[in-house]
Structure 1
Amino acid sequence: MKISNRSFPIHVHIVTIIIFVVVLATGTQVVLTNQAMSEVIFKANSKIFERIAEQTKHQLNSHYGTAFAALGSFSNSHGLKTSKGSDRLRVVPEVVHLLSQFEHVQTYVFEFEDGDSIVIKRINDALSPDIPIAHPDSQYLIVHQISGKKQAYTLDNNLNLVERIELDSEHFYANSRTSADVSPNTNTISKPTKLAHSTSMGIVISRTNEFGMRVSVDVLLKDLRDTLQDTLTNDSSIRVLYNDDGAVYAFSSGEGNQQDSGVLHISEINRDIVPHAIERKNGGETLGRFSYQGENWFGRIVTIRPLDSEHIHLLMAAKASSIFDEGELIKRQTFYASLLVFLIMLPCIYIVSRLISKPIVRARAKAKAIENFQFDNAPLPHSYIKEIQELNHAQVSTQSTISRFITLTDGIARQQNLDTMLELVCSNTAASASADGVLLYLLDAKGDQLIPHVAQFKPVEDVHAEPILVKDVTRFIEHIFNLKKPQAFPFNELTHLRANQPINDSCEVIYIPLQNREGLVIGSLGLIFEQGSADEVYRQHADYLKTLLGYVSVAIETQQMLESQRALLNSFIKVFAGSLDKKSPYTGNHCQRVPILTEWLTQAAHDSSLPPFKGFHLSEKEWQELKMAGCYMTVAKSLRQNMLSINRPSLRLFTIAFMKSERVSRSLNVIVKLSS
């Protein structure tokens, strides 16, 4: 059989399959891990944004809450409502205390309807340089105009007078007053602006009571900027706090903060992503993951309304690549670790594949040996793979079956005696089918009945089989001769079988018809199974039995034909010899006496223990040739003596041909052997 050049050893296929499975499993694991990692980081970043929004809202509430509470308290203060002149300065200690507690509040301004005003300002680094503060103990600047009298001085933390300073009062008050319209008993919040007499950005919260007194609070936005700055995680991070008008309260970026100078607006921010993200939000789109200028971003806008004031929005955005930096590192580490494990596993995979393929290679070599009829009885090594172990058993069984079949057919071909051949066939067939007994019936010469030739049953010492008349109308005859199909019968149901001891009721006999070349039934082979299940066993060995019995049927038919020809030849010779004895005056029944005497003498020599005959022995074939040789010799001798007396030319030619024939020569050689 020609093998394709594209075929490969089995261990190559096993290695390929294992590598494919490992790569598929590892790749799937890496992909799923990456997706899970991205999702985890995405959710974690969403949680961070939520915390930033909550923290910012809390910070705004803290900023606004302090100012709102102070405004409400002072605008409704009975002392401020009824006081006049210098009595109004009694509010200074209370304001200083508030300033000391809340660092994000810069200034308190009180403007009365009668023109009096009080400004209380914290002194810090953000104080405008045009205010000359010389003494280092100065912590608070007090500027007031009471009854047309203007004064400016500083206090320390204990409210002690530190120094008096000279100010341009008109300019100072002009910058300190709030020009925005304020509704009575309503808190008004200005846009982010540069605070009066300060270098810092902030907002001004104002409130007017029913007596016309206005209270204003300057609130710094630096704390908000610092809070947002602390939440930046990478260079691409952006935090923007703005209102509906686009005014920016706080802005922080990983690439550097916007300067505090000037009033900020969304359009003034030096990051193009900010207006793009706000436009997407205003357009009704959810930010989440979005793309901008070929880069993936992750962002969120949260609306905050501190203490029911105006809407303030917090924009948080960062590049996805920056957010997932650690995730990308984990992905790369996972990939390289998987690749390293895979490379380490390659030699192991190859070794394992060779170990797995080794029994298959041995099985292939065994199959090749069976193909070439090289039968080796050495068992194959045990395999822990069930299928390979079953394959080994199947090969051993196949070898045994083929070997048995070849041995049996060879034995059948070599057998000259029909009965011996039948014994050989029956014993081997019973062993092949694991039968407990075997029966063989052959049709007699007249075709009237089936004659038993073999009857064997291991559990019973003596089983007797009787002839079966073909004309009997029985189930056996119906199935074997008419239907020509195998049929199982209970042993006790068959009347032509008798045993010298009781047989189990489960015992069954399955008869298989024997057919000649023309398809005619010439006999039947029966297999006896003591425990029953004859049909099931036959189905397991049906193909083998059909092939074997087909060959046996032909061999039996051939033997029967040879026996018939041999009998016909012997009869012809005897008739010919008898005719010579009766016609010739020279023989004196010589042709009849000599063959018998020859057999007697040969048998005596065969049975003798004398030294000259010690090694003398004739086979069955030689016995047949001896019998024929006796007849041939006497006939030939008589023919030579009577050759001259034969007058008819045709008879003379026949006599000469007979004496020159091969069989006569062989027979004479046997006589020579006996003589020597």
Structure 2
Amino acid sequence: MVFVALLLIFGAVLGWFHHQKTSDIFLSSSKELFDQIAREINNSFYFSYNPVSTTVRLLSQSPIMRDQDMENRLKRLPILVSVMEAQPEVTSLEVGYSDTEFFIIRRLDSDYMLKRFGAPETAAYVVDNIERVDGQPVFSRLYYDASLALLGEKDMGFTSYNPTIRPWYRLAVYSQDVTTTSPYLYYFIGKVGVTVVNQDKDTGNVFAADITLESLSNTLIKNKVSPSSQMLIYTNDEEVVASLNPDNIVVESGPDNLSILKLSDLNNQVISDFFQQSPKPNNSNFFFDSGGQRWIGVNRPITLVGFTAHLLILAPEHELLQTAYTIRNQSMLISIAIVLLAIPAALFIANQMARPLRQLSEQTQPLHKMNFDQKVNVTSSIRDIQTLASVTEFMRMMIQQLVRLIKTLSQEENHPRLLEQMTGEIISISQADGALLYVLDENADQLIPHCFYTQQGCKSNHSFPRLGVNDRDLELVKAFHEDEDRILEINYERVSTTGTHESLLNHLGADRLQAATFPLENRQGKKIGLFCLIYQVDSASDIPILHADYKALVRSLTGILATAMDQQAGRGN
């Protein structure tokens, strides 16, 4: 169950981590989107402004700047109309003369404009002209269709309109090049825009073009970040010049009383909560709470030609992260499915591990009671557990044989039979095919073959020769004088040089044998014999006791054998 719990915790942590990272990615993408919107607003305005700026610069040098009466000014209508058709963002073109005369052509592209100027239904343009006749201003209004056919003319009577005192005219007078006014309300058409102006320095007259800021609102609408998002652009005077609801930008507070919408007039709780919780007035980007929802707010300055404005974007977090939530839910379902599929696998694997471990624990219980007779027999498909079981069984066998060896040492009084029994035990432990025990005689000049033992028992009719301890040409004698164990190869070609008899090969029915030799020493460190383990293998690398731990065990057993021989020699003395 712990394994299953870990799987569940892992699935939960993985799902949470995946959701967090996905949310971070989408929030980062949202911030990049806000930056992109700011860039598009700049680009949209410049796209509208640059051609108009060039047009104003050129037309401020045209003949209309010197025309003194309406008749000559009307001759310029084809050029002015072609400009307006090429630049639809221009709503009107006008000339303010230094003698207070005025000429303007406006586009009539809506029912509101037709009604506002009392124009015929087929009218496409309206022209207002103010000129002085006998010192008095005469205001005339003319209507034209799309082909510039005159549809009608009105005498508008007396007017006090003076272009030279208008802000756009005065801005041009104090500027050395084409410039742009701050956003203001076009009272006649009920829209917010800017005026691009340039003065002819020779005459003092000013040419101007009006551009509405509807393109900014259109950019916001095109880039609306979420269904409930709030987006607007406002000036330093907190006047809203673009929003997702452009029809609400101009506020009518009474008959013929229009004004630009102020931030304070929005009556929008989300925007109010944003400014109350905003740590900075500008360039802020943070989360805030409104109406029980978590929102992300962006308020950054944008620099446009002629003025600096502020872009405000507010969006609910759950809408911005809707895709992240969908991915999170899908990820959680996948994680749950994986965990559910993994639980049976985990239980199976856990059982594969726990079952043999339980069996191993049960079968080793007798070892706690010093009972080494019950065999440890555990099988597992897991290699480490199988290795543990094999090592445990090997340990049990070694302890069992050591106990048997100790009993033999303590109970057997017949010395020759004791050595035979101990030799048999060592053969069993070392998995050898046979063993040959040489004992140093009393004169310490010959090695006497005392016991030859095979898997069938002790062989008394072996006829192995005695070996002189000074005959160092023989491999077995060399091994006797060595301090460490050695591996010798015995075959028919080498029986004479090893010191053995070919009957050793005959006894085991082999053409080649490998012998592991262990010099035997008494407690004083003197050599008293040589113990040889015989293996019927072709290569020394196939000998089981070559493993360091195994060899140490066999070396300890031969040490016990040497101790037994030394004790018997002590009794004989």
TM-score (norm 2): 0.72
Task: Indicate the residue corresponding to 2:214 in structure 1.
Answer: 222
Q: 2:306 is paired with a residue of what secondary structure?
A: coil
- 1-side partners of 2:67 and 2:239: how far apart? 40
Report the CA distance between 1:529 and its aligned residue: 5.2
**8 Å CA contact retained: 1:452, 1:467:** no
**8 Å CA contact retained: 1:299, 1:318:** yes
**8 Å CA contact retained: 2:80, 2:93:** yes
Runs of at least 5 residues in structure 2 that lack an aligned partner in the other structure? 252-257, 471-475, 506-511
Task: Indicate the residue corresponding to 1:438 in structure 2.
Answer: 436
Structure 1 residues 25 and 418 mapped into 2: Cα distance closer, same or farther (>3 Å)? same
Task: Indicate the residue corresponding to 2:303 in structure 1.
Answer: 304
Amino acid at match of 2:128: V
- 1-side partners of 2:51 and 2:278: how far apart? 30
- 1-side partners of 2:447 and 2:26: how far apart? 93
Task: Tell me which of 147, 151, 159 is aligned to 1:162.
Answer: 151
Task: Indicate the residue corresponding to 1:250 in structure 2.
Answer: 241
Structure 1 residues 130 and 500 mapped into 2: Cα distance closer, same or farther (>3 Å)? closer
**8 Å CA contact retained: 2:114, 2:121:** no
Task: Tell me which of 531, 537, 540 is aligned to 2:550.
Answer: 540
Task: Tell me which of 424, 429, 448 is aligned to 1:427.
Answer: 424
Larger strand percent: 2
Task: Indicate the residue corresponding to 2:178 in structure 1.
Answer: 187
The answer to whether structure 1 residue 386 and structure 2 residue 383 are counterparts is: yes
Amino acid at match of 1:428: E
The answer to whether structure 1 residue 76 and structure 2 residue 65 are counterparts is: no
Amino acid at match of 2:39: E
- 2-side partners of 1:49 and 1:553: how far apart? 92
Task: Indicate the residue corresponding to 1:56 in structure 2.
Answer: 41
Task: Tell me which of 318, 323, 326 is aligned to 2:323.
Answer: 326
Task: Tell me which of 110, 130, 142 is aligned to 1:153.
Answer: 142
Task: Tell me which of 184, 189, 205 is aligned to 1:213.
Answer: 205
Report the CA distance between 1:331 and its aligned residue: 2.8
- 1-side partners of 2:42 and 2:549: how far apart? 88
1:46-125 matched pairs, under 5 angstroms: 46-78=31-63, 80-81=65-66, 84=69, 86-114=71-99, 116-123=101-108, 124-125=110-111
Task: Indicate the residue corresponding to 1:526 in structure 2.
Answer: 531
1:334-353 matched pairs, under 5 angstroms: 334-353=331-350
The answer to whether structure 1 residue 232 and structure 2 residue 221 are counterparts is: no
Q: Structure 1 stretch 42-51 or stretch 543-552: which is displaced more?
A: 543-552
Amino acid at match of 1:228: L
Q: 1:250 is paired with a residue of what secondary structure?
A: strand
Q: 2:66 is paired with a residue of what secondary structure?
A: helix
**8 Å CA contact retained: 1:437, 1:529:** yes
Q: Per-residue CA shift, 1:305-333, capped at 9, x if unaligned?
A: 4xxx4243442433572433432342344
**8 Å CA contact retained: 1:228, 1:239:** yes
Amino acid at match of 1:127: M
Amino acid at match of 2:464: V
Q: 1:40 is paired with a residue of what secondary structure?
A: helix
- 2-side partners of 1:303 and 1:296: how far apart? 22
The answer to whether structure 1 residue 465 and structure 2 residue 462 are counterparts is: no
Q: Structure 1 stretch 248-257 or stretch 144-153: which is displaced more?
A: 248-257
Structure 1 residues 69 and 415 mapped into 2: Cα distance closer, same or farther (>3 Å)? closer
**8 Å CA contact retained: 1:450, 1:468:** yes
- 2-side partners of 1:40 and 1:558: how far apart? 86
Amino acid at match of 1:110: V
Report the CA distance between 1:90 and its aligned residue: 0.8
- 1-side partners of 2:466 and 2:504: how far apart? 15
**8 Å CA contact retained: 1:192, 1:249:** no
Structure 1 residues 274 and 129 mapped into 2: Cα distance closer, same or farther (>3 Å)? farther
Amino acid at match of 1:37: T
Task: Indicate the residue corresponding to 1:178 in structure 2.
Answer: 166
1:369-384 matched pairs, under 5 angstroms: 369=366, 373=371, 375=373, 380-381=378-379, 383-384=380-381
Task: Tell me which of 364, 369, 383 is aligned to 1:367.
Answer: 364
- 2-side partners of 1:406 and 1:463: how far apart? 32
Q: 2:451 is paired with a residue of what secondary structure?
A: strand
> Between Structure 1 and Structure 2, whose CA radius of gyration is higher?
1
Amino acid at match of 1:152: R
**8 Å CA contact retained: 2:372, 2:399:** no
Task: Indicate the residue corresponding to 2:355 in structure 1.
Answer: 358
- 2-side partners of 1:238 and 1:176: how far apart? 40
**8 Å CA contact retained: 1:193, 1:201:** yes
Report the CA distance between 1:77 and its aligned residue: 0.8
- 1-side partners of 2:24 and 2:440: how far apart? 86
Pairs aligned (count):
526
**8 Å CA contact retained: 1:511, 1:524:** yes
Amino acid at match of 1:318: L
Task: Indicate the residue corresponding to 1:290 in structure 2.
Answer: 286
- 2-side partners of 1:339 and 1:538: how far apart? 50
Task: Indicate the residue corresponding to 1:127 in structure 2.
Answer: 113
Q: 1:352 is paired with a residue of what secondary structure?
A: helix
Q: Per-residue CA shift, 1:353-408, capped at 9, x if unaligned?
A: 10233333333333335556364569643x44322232233233234334444555
Task: Tell me which of 13, 16, 34 is aligned to 1:27.
Answer: 13
**8 Å CA contact retained: 2:15, 2:332:** no
Larger helix percent: 1
Report the CA distance between 1:292 and its aligned residue: 5.0
Q: Per-residue CA shift, 1:608-651, capped at 9, x if unaligned?
A: xxxxxxxxxxxxxxxxxxxxxxxxxxxxxxxxxxxxxxxxxxxx
Amino acid at match of 1:280: K
Q: Structure 1 stretch 62-71 or stretch 86-95: which is displaced more?
A: 62-71
- 2-side partners of 1:489 and 1:437: how far apart? 13
Amino acid at match of 1:540: Y
Runs of at least 5 residues in structure 1 that lack an aligned partner in the other structure? 1-11, 470-475, 565-676
- 2-side partners of 1:407 and 1:91: how far apart? 129
Task: Indicate the residue corresponding to 2:254 in structure 1.
Answer: none
Two-structure CA RMSD over aligned residues (Å): 5.0
Q: 2:189 is paired with a residue of what secondary structure?
A: coil
Report the CA distance between 1:537 and its aligned residue: 7.0
Q: 1:463 is paired with a residue of what secondary structure?
A: coil
- 2-side partners of 1:187 and 1:126: how far apart? 31
Amino acid at match of 2:311: L
The answer to whether structure 1 residue 241 and structure 2 residue 233 are counterparts is: yes
- 2-side partners of 1:506 and 1:361: how far apart? 41
Relative contact order (alpha carbons < 8 A, sep ≥ 6): 1 or 2 greater?
Answer: 2
- 2-side partners of 1:204 and 1:543: how far apart? 105
1:401-412 matched pairs, under 5 angstroms: 401-408=398-405
Q: 2:224 is paired with a residue of what secondary structure?
A: coil
Report the CA distance between 1:457 and its aligned residue: 8.6
Structure 1 residues 93 and 169 mapped into 2: Cα distance closer, same or farther (>3 Å)? farther
**8 Å CA contact retained: 1:251, 1:257:** no
Structure 1 residues 254 and 549 mapped into 2: Cα distance closer, same or farther (>3 Å)? farther
TM-score (norm 1): 0.63
Report the CA distance between 1:506 and its aligned residue: 8.5
- 1-side partners of 2:389 and 2:278: how far apart? 76
